[in-house]
């Protein structure tokens, strides 16, 4: 439970920082090995810029506050997709239910299934 509270503190900080930088962060949640953010971008923003700002400042915050037992750092990469307006509520619910979702399926398994489903990789047959 303690790690969950630390993640919530980190997510609250990210949301506040996003607001200060005029990034509309609609929803954020995650588990110990990844985070999902639902973001609406202004026409003068891009994904790389937003990710760099949020990851960089939040890692600095986590380490300055000794939020975790080890130095905190984000993975080098990230993944982003666009979402149609008609699917926003569905995506919010998916993000909201990360803990329950990943109790049933690991992040690695989910990524693999997603990549197969959308043709990024093919299963050997």
Domains and CATH numbers, the chain: 2-117 (3.30.70)
User: What's the CA gap between 118 and 111, in Å, rounded?
Assistant: 11
Picking from 76, 77, 58, 54, the residue whose alpha carbon sits closest to that of residue 68 is 58
Q: What backbone torsions phi and psi does residue 27 show, to the nearest 5 degrees?
A: -155, 145
**Dihedral over alpha carbons 42, 48, 51, 52 (to 10 degrees):** -120
* Mean pLDDT for the stretch of residues 25-46: 92
* Residue 105 near residue 98, CB atoms below 8 Å: no
Q: End-to-end CA distance of the chain, in Å? A: 43
pTM of the model: 0.83
Give the model confidence (pLDDT) of 83-109 as tens digits: 999 999 999 999 998 888 777 888 888
Picking from 81, 103, 100, 84, the residue whose alpha carbon sits closest to that of residue 36 is 81
80 pLDDT higher than 50: yes
pLDDT of residue 124: 56
């Amino acid at each position: 439970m303690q790690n969950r509270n630390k993640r919530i503190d980190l997510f609250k900080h990210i949301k506040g920082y996003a607001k200060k930088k005029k990034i509309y962060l609609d929803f954020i949640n995650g588990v110990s090995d990844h985070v999902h953010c639902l973001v609406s971008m202004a026409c003068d923003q891009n994904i790389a810029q937003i990710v760099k700002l949020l990851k960089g400042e939040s890692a600095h915050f986590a380490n300055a506050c000794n939020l975790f037992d080890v130095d905190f750092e984000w993975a080098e990469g990230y993944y982003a997709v666009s979402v149609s307006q008609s699917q926003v509520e569905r995506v919010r619910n998916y993000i909201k239910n990360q803990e329950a979702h990943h109790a049933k399926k690991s992040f690695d398994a989910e990524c693999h299934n997603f990549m197969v489903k959308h043709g990024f990789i093919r299963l050997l047959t």
